[in-house]
Amino acid sequence: MADPMKIRATLQGDVADVRVLMAHPMETGQRKDAAGKLVPLHFIQTITAQLNGKTVFTADVSQAVSRNPVFAFKVKGAKVGDKLSITWQDNTGDKRTDELVIRAGS
Amino acid sequence: MKRALVLGTLAVACAAVAQTPDPTAAEFDKFREIMEQDNPAELFEVKGEELWKTPRGPKNASLEKCDLGLGPGVVKGAYAQTPRYFADVDRVMDAEARIVHCMITLQGFTQAELAKAPFSSLVRTPEPVSIVTYVAAQSRGMKFASPQNHVKERAAYETGKAIFHYRAGAFDFSCASCHGVDDKRIRTQPLPNFTKPEQAIRAVQGWPGYRMTGGVMHSLQWRLNDCYRQQRFPEPGYASETLSALLTYVTVNANGHVYRGPGIKR
Amino acid sequence: MHQTRRSVIKAGGAAALFAVFGGVLLQPGRALAAWNKGAFEAKNIADAMKSVGVANAEESKAIEIRAPEIAENGAVVPIDITSNIPGTTSISVFIEKNPFPYTGTFDFSQGAVPYVHLRVKIGESSPVRVVATAGGKHYTTAKEVKVTIGGCGG
């Protein structure tokens, strides 16, 4: 089971400034381990953000994104009490969803 | 042959540069501060907090009774006030050495097993590293205040200073060779002068740090060990009195500066 | 290697399941097409942009890229992108000199501002090229990022 993400959302009017930190090795498939063997490709491919169950932001990314990725994006039409959920899925089929309720002054 | 080449490289690299502020270093600092606002170190803070609160080891106990210097279980502010003297062991300890001590006495782990592989790799972060990251995060925004009240704290400072200036090893280097003079640089990384208070803060700021090279979490115990490795010294003991003394010297020199919490390192 | 989605998900995170470049997976509930394997496997900037469908992008000063002039470590280079082109629906990012230049596409059409921050691996000093899509047209700009130590291997 993948480790949780850390999500922060700050409201600026009705735009939620979202910052997310994901725990993922983002292996390029080019790296060799201590024994000299190539570590297989293992990376997040897709990211989806939903506000109150409706998709508002999506991304497709490659293994060139850094290990333990950080992304920031801005969601429109957000208000206090809204539920923000973010899902990532990687090339092995593993996925992770974490949620946050937007708070005033957060 | 290879050693001579490395020595030559180090000697050239440690060359003094002009006393103007280094624009490359300033740019690095600027972006590093931006990145520290969303820092993968936070993932290890979370892990460390979990390890602090979970009963573990042969004694199946948590670390919640561990005394980091401000009383059993008091974590807030403790990191910024280490290294310090601990009466129960009659010695000065840095934060990680103290955490290791608590893991031994409260949880039943052994020194041998904790010292066996104490540094992070891409596939494993040792528990003390996550725990010291959590503990350090609870001192975010506080001023460094490593005490010099006890006679052994003052002795640790003097010992640390002597160690800092002690030349040995294949290159006849000491810490001071690179960190005892102004304006030295190794490749793109400036080497602050830790003998001066206004620069000594850079010895401790941002540690424990998430190191971009390899994407791993490292503490000062690793940083010091790696410095000694680069100097071709014998390996210092993990969580040893030697390293506690060295950390006393640089931390006391940095006292009064605000600690920003776990950082991001090259 | 042909894997049904069910068998892949059932097997969980077993890394041995997939061929060298990973399986193509449809994410449940996604409006967009499947992860663009062909584009992600393109080995040069021209092929990558063509595969993404943005080869004829016109140069524009209305896209802002904020990134360091010199990256402290090519393994983690922070990039901030804002498109000021009205009606921007997506932004694609390419690192021209990387072994696989296409790095990702960010879609704002369902309710996000055309802004993204990401951190990337840059193998050697390279232009970071950004393409913004608005009203079916493509606009592009690039910013050079110097790297002293590459971010892919060590």
Q: How many C-beta atoms surround the C-beta of residue A101 within 10 A?
A: 11
Is A64–C16 a contact, with Cβ atoms under 8 angstroms apart? no
Predicted ipTM of the assembly: 0.96
Is B37–A23 a contact, with Cβ atoms under 8 angstroms apart? no
* Angle A22-A26-A31 from CA coordinates, rounded to 5°: 150
CB B266 within 8 A of CB C72: yes
pLDDT at position C11, please? Answer: 39
Q: Is A7 on the interface with B (CB under 8 A)?
A: no
Whether the per-residue pLDDT at C130 is higher than 60: the answer is: yes
Q: What percent of chain A has pLDDT over 70?
A: 97
Per CB-CB distance under 8 Å, the chain A contacts of B47 are 3
pLDDT at position B120, please? Answer: 97
pLDDT at position C138, please? Answer: 98
Q: Are residues C60 and C9 in the same domain?
A: no
Which residue on chain B is closest to A69 by alpha carbon? B40
Q: Are residues C26 and C84 in the same domain?
A: no
A99 compared with B8, residue with greater pLDDT: A99
Q: Looking at residues C7-26, what average pLDDT do you find? A: 38
Which residue on chain A is closest to C91 by alpha carbon? A59
pLDDT at position C33, please? Answer: 54
Domain residues of chain B, as ranges?
23-265
Residue A88 C-alpha from the chain's centroid = 5
Q: Is C75 on the interface with B (CB under 8 A)?
A: yes
- The subunits that touch chain A, with at least 3 C-beta pairs less than 8 Å apart, are B, C
Interface subset of A 30-49, CB within 8 angstroms of B: 33-34
Compute the mean pLDDT over every residue in chain C, rounded to the nearest whole number: 82
Q: Are residues C110 and C140 in the same domain?
A: yes
Q: Under CATH, which number does the domain B23-265 receive?
A: 1.10.760.10
Q: Are residues C53 and C113 in the same domain?
A: yes
Q: Are residues C29 and C97 in the same domain?
A: no
Comparing A74-78, B46-50, C68-72, C103-107, which segment has the lowest mean pLDDT?
A: C68-72
Is A8–B43 a contact, with Cβ atoms under 8 angstroms apart? no
Q: Which residues of chain B have pLDDT under 50?
A: 1-20
Q: Looking at residues C20-32, what average pLDDT do you find? A: 40
pTM of the shown model: 0.87
Whether the per-residue pLDDT at C12 is higher than 70: the answer is: no
Number of domains chain C is built from: 2
Domain residues of chain A, as ranges?
6-26+39-101
Domain membership of residue C73 as a residue range:
43-147
pLDDT at position B1, please? Answer: 44
Q: Looking at residues C3-7, what average pLDDT do you find? A: 44
CB B266 within 8 A of CB C149: no
Q: Are residues C60 and C15 in the same domain?
A: no
pLDDT at position B22, please? Answer: 77
Read off the CATH number of the domain in which C95 is found: 2.60.40.2470
pLDDT at position B251, please? Answer: 98
Per CB-CB distance under 8 Å, the chain C contacts of A9 are none
> Hey, what CATH class is A6-26+39-101 in?
mainly beta
Query: How close A10 gets to chain B, by Cα (Å)?
Result: 13
Using CB atoms within 10 A of its CB, is residue A76 exposed (0-12), middle (13-18) or buried (19+)?
middle
Tokens of A9: 């959302």
